[in-house]
Amino acid sequence: MALKIRRGTTAERGAMTGANPALAEPIWVTDKVNINGENGTLYVGDGATSGGIAVNPQISLNKLTDVDSSLAPATGQVLAWNTSNARFEASTLNLTTTIGALTDVDTTGVVNNKILKYNASTTNWEVADEDFASFNFATQLSGSSIDGLGDVSTSGSDTPTTGQYLLWDNANSQWKPGDLDLSGAAITNLTADLQGSVFGDDSAVLVDGVNSTVRLYNGTLDFTSDSVVSSTGNFSVSSKTEVNSTVFEAYNKDEATAVRVNGLNGATSQNISGFSINGYYGGFEDSGSEVKITAGNYIGELSALAYDPDFDGAGNGKKVLSSLILFRSDPTEAIANDTAKGQIEFLTNAGTGTTPVAKTMLFDAKGQLAVNRTSARSTLDVEGVMTLEPQAAAPATPVIGMIAVANKTNWDPASFSGSTPYPVFYTGAAWVAMIA
């Protein structure tokens, strides 16, 4: 048959006194939790202890041999090892709550925008200024990858392509490569410096950040003042490689001067301001292909054209030549070193824009003037007639060789009869009639 031992509740065991239970007598307490967390604990009488002693009791921390139970713990304390007595003791955890409380940190003199910098001589972190100018980021960050940051994804499907930026992905709480689209955005209150190149919608370079140049492709420059200043003293429009026929145009819709030159002038031609036309042949200066001018070569021109909105009678507009001033080397003079003998041609268009007819006057290197001729044969060479206006009085300061026409009515140096004006010649002493 089954062997049964004495059993009861915790309350019933607590009511036992003296050597009850007897020595070696077992008692099973049905409602006391054992070390395994189950109901039921075995007690055995030792002949002296009321209720016996537990065979499988719950173990208390203070029963451990390396724990000092003499220091009663307070709320929030922890067990800390004490080397002096080789025991764990109740201790208050000392948590440093400020960086200045650290033993190797000196925060003396800290203010806004200061940084902590390690001082090897004091073995402390100390307050210092930012010094990124001498910081070698390439060395310090060598071998590192931005993808290693917890909030950055640049691998797998997020591998960037050329020209992309890191953009914030709010859905995934990460920075990911993407294209920056500012087409519908307005940039206002920009205080930072802009570095690099600027491109147009057609990918043309507008601001060249590499060569420090600004380019306009059929664009406009709007200046709020009337000054464009060059720090080099030389302001150039176009370049030596320009191939377009027109490189500078000025528009002005009122009666003010479209282009003006202001200068401090002097007593000689070396001290005056104006326009200068420089003629190059074969190539520009320092190109290595420049050559001497040839006799008769043109150097430059000043032209005047009138716009005709109905040039062809069908409403199509076009500019029509009105007049020209041409500068060239004199075709009758020899070319030599340090020599560029000149000729100026004045032309008016007596015909049409389609079929121009030139009426000319030229002044050559010999000091000869030709009218309606392509060359001069004398000081004055006129192809046509010359008209002298009859004078009412003798010229105030006549010189020998002067020719005039006396009107006979008010001035009659030869005392001619009648009222018809007549030509006169000054001999140095008197005006003499040039007709009988």
For residues 241-268, average pLDDT: 75
- Please report the pLDDT score of residue 378 as a whole number: 93
Judge residue 286's burial from the number of C-beta atoms within 10 Å of its C-beta, 0-12 exposed, 13-18 middle, 19 or more buried. exposed
Say yes or no to pLDDT of 189 above 70: no
Judge residue 165's burial from the number of C-beta atoms within 10 Å of its C-beta, 0-12 exposed, 13-18 middle, 19 or more buried. exposed
Picking from 228, 229, 195, the residue whose alpha carbon sits closest to that of residue 212 is 195
- Please report the pLDDT score of residue 323 as a whole number: 96
Instruction: Categorize the per-residue pLDDT at 324 as very low, low, confident or very high, splitting at 50, 70 and 90.
Output: very high
Task: Give the DSSP letter string of 351-391.
Answer: S-SSS--EEEEEE-TTS-EEESSSS-SSSEEESS----PPB
For residues 363-384, average pLDDT: 93
User: How far is the first Cα of the chain from the last one, in angstroms, to the nearest whole number?
Assistant: 188
* 284 vs 265, residue with greater confidence: 284
- Please report the pLDDT score of residue 355 as a whole number: 94
Token match 């030229």: residue?
A: 362
Instruction: Categorize the per-residue pLDDT at 304 as very low, low, confident or very high, splitting at 50, 70 and 90.
Output: very high
- Whole-model pTM above 0.75? no
Say yes or no to pLDDT of 69 above 80: no
Strand ranges for 20-164 from DSSP E: 26-33, 39-44, 53-54, 78-82, 87-91, 105-106, 115-119, 124-128
For residues 392-408, average pLDDT: 94
User: 4-29: per-residue pLDDT in tens?
Assistant: 788 888 888 888 888 888 888 888 88
For residues 149-157, average pLDDT: 87
Picking from 200, 392, 364, 368, the residue whose alpha carbon sits closest to that of residue 295 is 364
Instruction: Categorize the per-residue pLDDT at 434 as very low, low, confident or very high, splitting at 50, 70 and 90.
Output: very high
Do strands 6-8 and 26-33 pair parallel, antiparallel, or not at all (unpaired)? parallel
Most confident of 37-41, 132-136, 339-343: 339-343
263 neighbors 273 (Cβ within 8 angstroms): yes
